[in-house]
Amino acid sequence: MQSLEQLRSGSLSGVNKLALSCKLKVFPTEIFDLAETLEVLDLSRNQLSQLPDNFGRLKKLRILFLSDNDFTEIPQVLSECPALTMIGFKSNQITLWPEDAMPAKVRWLILTNNRVEKLPASIGKLKYLQKLMLAGNLISTLPDTMRHCKNLELIRLSANQLESLPEWLFNMPRLSWLACAGNPCTSTPLPDSNKLAEIAWEEISLHEELGEGASGVISRGAVRDENFAAIKVFKGEVTSDGYPADEMSASISAGKHHNLNTPYGKVSEHPEEKEALIFPLIPSIYCNLGNPPDLNSCTRDTYDEEASFSPSRIVRIASDVVSAALHLHERGINHGDLYAHNILIDKSGHSLLGDFGAATLYDHSLYGRSFQQLEVRAFGCLLEDLLDRHTVDDDAQQSKVKSLEKLKAECLNETVKKRPFFSEIMIRLSKL
């Protein structure tokens, strides 16, 4: 984080990244002195409500973060920034998204936790848009022109006011990761908590923190001074994926499966009245299959440089993931975040799919297998990532790779109805 004093003194001349968080109410005009080099501008956690009319002078700006400010509408001037591809307006007070306010090359747009009621028809012009984060708004319908966003791969629509999901949404050629829980169109009662053992907070002793995500904090804990478990205490507020209550609902509904990490207990009598679930403690021999997307990859996971997979190992991982996904869709659950970074594997390749933050409970009688055919493409992306890093020792292994490549192509078919279902994929993988 840099300072306003540094900016004004000229000591930041030539930088390509600038981050200022110092209760700014007015855009510092000294930023224009960096116009020849500035590519990333982060003015989050300030008190800004507008951008200057000449903001388009920042011709090289690629990434703009304005989260946690006081904007009530998206500034029209953004459309004058030719290189801008990523924009973040999370947790403002935005109600208005004007027509043609977005730059033509935007790929990644974050409007989580605002008050947007209506999307502009001009959204259909954003042919490069891949990732659209809209959870926690007041959207009741999607404009028909949105079907023209042919490159859209990930969309978060959770925690809005959608009465229905348009048919064209399920025919978008590249859409793979869809979250829309917490809307009237996917409203499902919270599963009966009696399915899980209820354990009082006083019977749990917390140890070290294992991790923190958008929806909650996970800690190692002892239950009744006996078995160690992972305790997830939910924060309660809307996240980039939706409401934590919907994550809990999906986690409970998922039930037991040997390739899923699901809870076995629910905490009662939390001193701060927070919701919490109790999960099995995963052995340390498991590690993440991949890493989350970065600013460059946008919708695709990243991997350690040394990551490599034999064809047999790919088949094992793919089979486990498909088995878990099939189990979920049979129960009317779309995972919504089927990614390598949400999969844990051990040395044998045994896989556990976790993180139900983007999951959606849906009604088979309304949606049939539409959700599943989108999620099959997410699996196809995962399979592509693994195949891009495969190693081959002999001709038999090469034959297996060819079969996997064919399966991958079918899962990525841009004609959604031509993709195989998870039950068919399971059979084909079993023959490899």
Q: What does the pLDDT read at residue 81?
A: 97
Q: Is residue 258 part of a domain?
A: yes
In a domain, 25, yes or no: no
Spatial separation of the C-alpha atoms in residues 93 and 76, rounded to whole Å? 16
Confidence of residue 336 (pLDDT cuts 50, 70, 90): very high
> What was the pLDDT predicted at 397?
85
Q: What is the DSSP string of 56-77?
A: GG-TT--EEE--SS--SB--GG
Report the distance separating Cα 151 and Cα 324, nearest Å.
27
Q: Are residues 354 and 270 in the same domain?
A: no
Residue written as token pair 């008190």: 47
Q: Are residues 396 and 268 part of one domain?
A: no
Angle at the Cα of 81 from the Cα atoms of 80 and 82, rounded to 5 degrees: 105
Residues 6 or more apart in contact with residue 416 via CB below 8 angstroms: 170, 171, 172, 173, 373, 374, 377
Cα dihedral: 146, 416, 87, 214 (round 10): 120
Q: In the prediction, which pLDDT does 85 show? A: 98
Of 391, 382, 389, the closest CA to residue 412 belongs to: 382
Residues 249 and 353 both lie in one domain: no
Cα 77 to its chain centre, rounded Å, is 28
Confidence of residue 327 (pLDDT cuts 50, 70, 90): very high
Tell me, yes or no, whether 422 lies in a domain: yes
Residue 19: inside a domain? no
- With tokens 């047999």, the residue in question is 312
pLDDT mean over 396-412: 94
3-state secondary structure of 132: strand
User: Given 213, 245, 280, which residue is the final one in a domain?
Assistant: 280
| Across 157-171, 179-193, 208-222, least confident range | 179-193
Which of 117, 84, 359 is CA-nearest to residue 239?
359
C-alpha closest to that of 300 among 179, 420, 180, 381: 381
Give pLDDT tens digits for 266-314: 999 999 989 899 999 999 999 999 999 999 999 999 999 999 999 999 9
Question: Do 292 and 410 lie in a common domain?
Answer: yes
Number of domains in the chain: 2
Instruction: Compute φ and ψ for 395, nearest 5 degrees.
Output: -65, -35
**Cα distance between residue 424 and residue 432, in whole Å:** 13
Of 311, 286, 261, the C-alpha closest to 429 is 311
* Lookup result for tokens 């995972």: 335
Q: What is the mean pLDDT of the chain?
A: 94
Least confident of 51-60, 126-135, 212-221: 212-221
Range of the structural domain that residue 359 is part of: 287-430
Q: Which pLDDT score, from 0 to 100, does residue 237 have?
A: 84
Q: Is the pLDDT of residue 218 over 70?
A: yes
What distance in Å separates the CA atoms of residue 182 and residue 188, rounded to the nearest whole number? 9
Average pLDDT over residues 319-339: 97
Directed axis angle between helix 370-387 and helix 395-411, to 10°?
150
CATH of the domain at 337: 1.10.510.10
Residues 275 and 329 in one domain: no
Based on the fold, state whether residues 330 and 392 are members of the same structural domain: yes
The predicted model gives 249-266 an average pLDDT of: 93
60 located within any domain: no
Report pLDDT digits (tens) over 66-107: 999 999 999 999 999 999 999 999 999 999 999 999 999 999
**Statement: residue 392 has pLDDT above 90:** no
Please determine, for residue 359, whether its predicted confidence score (pLDDT) is greater than 50: yes
Q: Do 271 and 241 lie in a common domain?
A: yes
Q: Write out the two tokens for 310.
A: 């034999």
195 has a pLDDT exceeding 50 = yes
How many percent of the chain have pLDDT more than 90? Answer: 88
Token pair 């029209």: residue: 76
Q: Which two tokens stand for residue 80?
A: 């004058």
Across 232-254, b (16+ Cβ under 10 Å) vs e yields bbbeeebbbbbbbbbbbbbbbbb
Token duo for residue 214: 């958008």
Distance CA 243, CA 124 (A): 27
233 and 345 together in one domain:
no
Do 349 and 421 have their domain in common? yes
pLDDT of residue 190: 56
Note whether 241 and 256 are same-domain residues.
Answer: yes
For residues 260 and 375, membership in a common domain is answered with no
Predicted confidence at residue 193, as pLDDT, reads: 47
